[in-house]
């Protein structure tokens, strides 16, 4: 298949116009949303998306709406030219890279109402004159954005406990991307399992005409789940971080051999990670569809883990389905 340079689009209106012109020609469009710094996990999503549509858009946008001011937005790794080189090296490449500067900056949208003057539509104080709490980098920037999408029940557990603004930011920016790109298919990685399920629920509840596909986790040769954050691990931390995938694999084998007590399985994983020097955020076994905790494995579940090694927070999971052995 011929390799080609992707068209790089930075403006929302131009992106929407491209999609609509392609659709008018009878083409189907796939979307793979990313925050850049692409690795083989992202490449696997792109290859999966290629199977389902005629044309493919990859978005590269580090979304400030999902970071709180004390998180790692400013240090999130970035290599745009490297990303383009990787996309160009793919057989067939991609058709468009959507690389907006700021999806929350409304000052250049061409409105005649005056509402794009962010100094007028953002008030940093509440009705009693007190400073409003800044909960995400959007509020910190005072961009005027105030509309959020929440998938209320599914966002509460797992990462939602320690990152209270994360999933509203994810759901909101994905909805914005869906409205701008207007894809037929969107592909998300199952490594971010809760995120994938939240996007599926949002699409269902808001009637987006989009087929959301979950793609399997891609791992390094030693089993570590691929992540853009892995680059921040020291050699020693990376070695210790293998305790996550190794303990999850042992737990899956134990479950398949008849150990169905979730508390026992969770304790074994927690102990393995702590003994390796990690700090466990959570280690929970939940239903694959509803993300609710279970006491015994009687339905298809997913074992989700988040843990800190040094200053790097890693997530991983493993699906366990007793019907598939």
Q: Structural domain boundaries of the chain?
A: 7-105+147-215, 228-317
Structural class in CATH, domain 7-105+147-215: alpha beta
User: Tens digit of pLDDT for each residue in 109-137?
Assistant: 434 333 434 333 334 444 555 545 568 88
**pLDDT, tens only, 274-315:** 999 999 999 999 999 999 999 999 999 999 999 999 999 999
Tell me how far apart the alpha carbons of residues 61 and 252 are, in angstroms, rounded to a whole number.
35
81-86: long-range contacts (C-beta < 8 A, 24 or more apart)?
82/37, 82/38, 83/36, 83/37, 83/38, 84/6, 84/8, 86/38, 86/43
User: What pLDDT, on a 0 to 100 scale, did the predictor assign at position 323?
Assistant: 76
Distances (CA, A) of 4 to 85, 114, 174: 11, 42, 27
- The sign of the dihedral angle between the CA atoms of 10, 14, 17, 21 is negative
pLDDT (tens digit per residue) in 85-115: 999 999 889 999 999 999 998 775 434 333 4
Give the pLDDT score at 139.
77
Report the C-alpha gap between 211 and 203 in whole angstroms.
8
d(CA 147, CA 163): 19
The catalytic residues are 42
Which tens digits make up the pLDDT trace of 146-197? 899 999 999 999 999 998 889 999 999 999 999 999 999 999 999 999 999 9
With cut-offs at 50, 70 and 90, classify the pLDDT of residue 324.
low
Task: Name the CATH architecture for the domain at 228-317.
Answer: 2-Layer Sandwich (3.30)
**CA–CA distance, 316 with 189 (Å, rounded to integer):** 11
Nearest in space to 90 (alpha carbons), one of 49, 59, 35, 31: 49
Helix, strand, coil content of the chain in percent (nearest 5)? 35, 20, 45
Residue 219 has pLDDT above 80, yes or no: yes
């Amino acid at each position: 298949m011929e390799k080609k340079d992707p068209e790089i689009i930075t403006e929302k209106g131009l992106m929407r116009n491209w999609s609509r012109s392609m659709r008018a020609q009878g083409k189907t469009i796939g979307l793979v949303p990313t925050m850049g710094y692409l690795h083989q996990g992202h490449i696997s999503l792109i290859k999966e998306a290629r199977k389902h549509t005629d044309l493919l858009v990859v978005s590269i946008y580090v979304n400030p709406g999902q970071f709180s001011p004390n998180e790692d937005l400013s240090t999130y790794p970035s290599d745009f030219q490297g990303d383009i080189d990787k996309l160009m090296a793919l057989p067939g490449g991609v058709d468009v890279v959507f690389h907006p500067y700021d999806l929350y900056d409304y000052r250049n949208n061409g409105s005649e109402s005056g509402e794009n003057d962010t100094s007028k539509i953002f008030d940093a104080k509440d009705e009693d004159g007190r400073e409003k709490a800044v909960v995400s980098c959007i509020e910190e920037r005072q961009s005027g954005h105030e509309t959020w999408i929440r998938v209320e029940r599914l966002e509460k557990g797992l990462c939602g406990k320690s990152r209270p603004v994360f999933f509203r930011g994810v759901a909101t920016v994905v909805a914005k991307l869906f409205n701008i790109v207007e894809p037929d298919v969107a592909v998300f990685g199952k490594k971010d399992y809760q995120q994938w399920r939240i996007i599926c629920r949002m699409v269902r509840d808001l009637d987006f005409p989009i087929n959301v596909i979950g793609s399997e986790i891609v791992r390094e040769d030693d089993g570590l789940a691929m992540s853009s954050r892995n680059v921040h691990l020291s050699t020693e931390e990376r070695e210790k971080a293998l305790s996550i995938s190794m303990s999850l694999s042992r737990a899956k084998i134990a479950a398949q051999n008849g150990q169905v007590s979730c508390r026992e399985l969770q304790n074994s994983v927690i102990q393995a990670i702590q003994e390796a020097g990690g700090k466990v955020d959570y280690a929970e076994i939940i239903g694959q569809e509803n993300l609710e905790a279970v006491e015994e494995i009687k339905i298809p579940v997913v074992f989700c883990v988040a843990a800190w090694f040094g200053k790097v927070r890693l997530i991983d999971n493993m699906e366990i389905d007793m019907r598939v052995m």
